[in-house]
């Protein structure tokens, strides 16, 4: 019995010193919806997909997040949309045939807004980029 107590005490002691390893820093819901100062680097993301595919995923992500599309320019690859009464410009920039960048910046160039607007758009693209465009489920 004493040996079981000692082993249990050692395991508890080890668990107190082990820190959980997080693969990605997760933001709480209040942090995502509270306006704060954003850096330009946080508004850009490199995706491993052609620019045309990223453009369509961006439109789908804007729609899935229930943002309002104000203007779409397919030739230059930008989308002007409104989220939480603030306009944003989503620009798709082609690097090569398999990589492109998505920049989501505020239209008024004031980087004080809810980070969830940009992060949710990036997350939507990340989650759905493995599926072919024709198989993305319709929103109900």
Query: Does pLDDT of 118 surpass 50?
Result: yes
The residues, ordered by sequence, that sit 6+ positions from 24 with a Cβ below 8 Å of its Cβ are none
55 pLDDT higher than 80:
yes
**Per-residue pLDDT reduced to its tens digit, 81-101:** 999 899 999 999 999 999 999
Q: What is the mean pLDDT of residues 35-62?
A: 93
pTM: 0.71
What was the pLDDT predicted at 22? 42
Domains of the chain, CATH where assigned: 23-131 (3.30.310.80)
- Of residues 104 and 33, the one with the higher pLDDT is 104
Whole-angstrom CA distances from 1 to 5, 11, 94, 103, 122 are 6, 16, 67, 63, 54
For the chain, percent of residues with pLDDT exceeding 70 = 70
Q: pLDDT tens for residues 19-43?
A: 444 434 455 655 667 888 999 999 9
* pLDDT surpassing 80 at residue 11: no
Q: Looking at the predicted structure, is the pLDDT value of residue 138 above 50? A: yes
């Amino acid at each position: 019995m004493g040996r079981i107590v000692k082993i249990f005490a050692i395991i508890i002691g080890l668990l107190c010193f082990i820190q959980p390893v997080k693969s990605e820093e997760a933001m709480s819901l209040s942090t995502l919806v509270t306006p704060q100062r954003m850096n330009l680097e946080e508004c850009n993301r490199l995706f491993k997909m052609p620019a045309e595919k990223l453009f369509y995923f961006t439109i789908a992500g804007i729609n899935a997040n229930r943002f309002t599309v104000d203007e779409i320019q397919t030739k230059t690859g930008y989308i002007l949309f409104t989220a939480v009464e603030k306009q944003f410009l989503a620009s798709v920039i082609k690097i090569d045939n398999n990589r492109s960048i998505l920049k989501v910046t505020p239209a008024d160039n004031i980087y004080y807004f809810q980070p969830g607007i940009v992060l949710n758009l990036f997350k939507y693209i990340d989650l759905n980029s493995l599926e072919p465009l024709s198989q993305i489920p319709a929103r109900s």
